[in-house]
Amino acid sequence: MVISFRYVKEIGQKKLDRNFNFVRSLEENVDKTLERIKNNLEKELKIKSKKKNNKNVESTQEIEKNVEVSVKLLKASNEISNQSFTDLLKYFEEDESQFQLVLQDDIFQIKFNSPWISNLSLPTSILAGFYVYPAKLDLEFTDRHSSEFIWYRGKMPKSQKESDFEWQEIGRGFSIVTKTEDIGHHLKIVAIPKSKNGDKIGPQVEAISKNEVNAGPGVCPFETRHLFTEERLSGKSIRVVSYNMLADYYADSEDGRTKLFNYCPGYAIDIDYRKQLLIKEIVGYNADILCMQEVDYKVFDLDFIPFLAEQNMNGVHDKKGTTPEGLATFFRTDRFDLIENCALNIGETMKTHDACQELFQKLQYNEKLVARITDLSTTLQIVLLRSKEFPNKFILVANTHLYFHPDADHIRLLQIGFSMILVTDFIEKFKQKYTTDDISLLFCGDFNSVPECGIYKLMTEGHVSENFIDWKSKEEEAVVNVSISQPFKIKSACGTPKYTNFTIGFQDCLDYIFYQTDKFEVIKVVEMPSEEELRAHNAIPSVLFPSDHVAIVTELNFIT
């Protein structure tokens, strides 16, 4: 049981304004709980006074004075004593209005399971022209959609005291877009928790930003791309985006800041800066299906899920092994139902999955090869969606981020080979389970493979022979007498752009949206940023690009 209340009290020059939370057992005697509340309040309300030591010496001594606090629990104006909370619980449920907590001369009406906000804070970085929303918001007995949020701006007063701010309301809702006139101001959010049916309102909580709103970086190149994705699609058309966001886990590492991305200013590599750009970019694409790689779980949980829910999107996240980043697939909830989803560690699955055994057994001659590929954390994410507009149509969305290493072309080719075996198996099983033949495949991801390598050949031509050069990318792990195939008619929706990854040390095409040509037709590909834009700040990420990858965006029509 949790007892929570906000207590505001002034005694002399002492002002108390804080939230109290007491975690107690339901079996505990009420008197013991009230004594604990009394002790905590008295500790907080101790008054410090100064006393001179003697008439001739200019020194003082601080003396603490105890404040006696009276704490009572009343039921219908009668004081409750020597009972457990379990004894009282049925009365709370029947009529909570008869219960009151009295602290000194302050009377608190007790609310049972009242809407409550236990944590609220704002981001450390807020840019003009970008979305701002709570950095942390922990709700109990309510949700974001039922609660009310009011935003204010104010200049830091000369006194530097929060109580002296003069606040001006600037917006309402879970998020707002800051404006140029907000620059130099602090923001405040007031959150009012309300029950889902509206019959209960909890105490409001507010949070003030630690830092002022800063000027944004100007027009980002992705905003030019947004001109081609202004409208949401409907009917037989869908917009698909694949994007490696560059995990904070890597960007903020020692290697990330000092070696890989040392050309990027420190503030621009910080996730609090980058995620503002990421959110604005993602929202502007108006995607129906969004596949992302290198998604930090904290960003998925605290940023993408709550914010994208406001855009009618939901998503699933699967970590890559023990690392705190992984794959995330989002979909528009007004267009699709999530039917099933799962994630498979490719290295582990190839050892045990029946469909993988024929290929896996062909590798047993090389212990080093088997040890390397089975030890990797590479993950295949499977998401089965059903169209709400065409309920007989399903889409199996596969999402992956294949292993990166210069000597691992053979490893990646095997990973995609096993992935396509698994995708084929899932599609066949889903066809039987849902009695349908209309399951279309979309396979998105960062494949860490350029168009000249075997992955692109397998996906677009359907076959890679045993003498293909990728099999020998590391001599002691060479793959011998192995060819792989996949049964689908597939193309790359965005073709092979010159660059989807652009750093100082590497620039090429690594990201693809593969689609079934007998299920979809491409109606639009959103143009990529120019090389001039990518090089404007040496490489990406930069103050204008939040990732070292560029999002690829396409529009497809169902073939009916």
Active site residues: 446
Distance CA 354, CA 349 (A): 9
With a CB cutoff of 8 Å and minimum separation 6, the contacts of 392 are 436, 438
| HSE-up of residue 100 (Cα within 13 Å, Cβ side) | 13
Distance CA 319, CA 343 (A): 9
Phi, psi of 225 (to 5 degrees): -65, -30
Question: Residue 28 has which token pair?
Answer: 């505990």
Q: CA of 37: how far to CAs of 199, 202, 220, 328, in Å?
A: 28, 21, 53, 45
SS3 assignment for 12-62:
CCEEEEEEEEEECCCCCEHHHHHHHHHHHHHHHCCEEEEEECCCCCCCEEE
Distance CA 215, CA 184 (A): 8
Nearest to 244 by CA among 509, 519, 21, 536: 509
Which pairing describes strands 237-244 and 289-296: parallel, antiparallel, or unpaired?
parallel
Residue appearing with tokens 């010496």: 57
- Do residues 219 and 472 make contact, with C-beta atoms less than 8 angstroms apart? no
Distance CA 553, CA 529 (A): 12
Note the helical H segments in 286-381. Answer: 297-299, 305-309, 346-352, 357-361, 367-374
β-bridge partners, 388: none
Question: Residue 484 has which token pair?
Answer: 């792989």
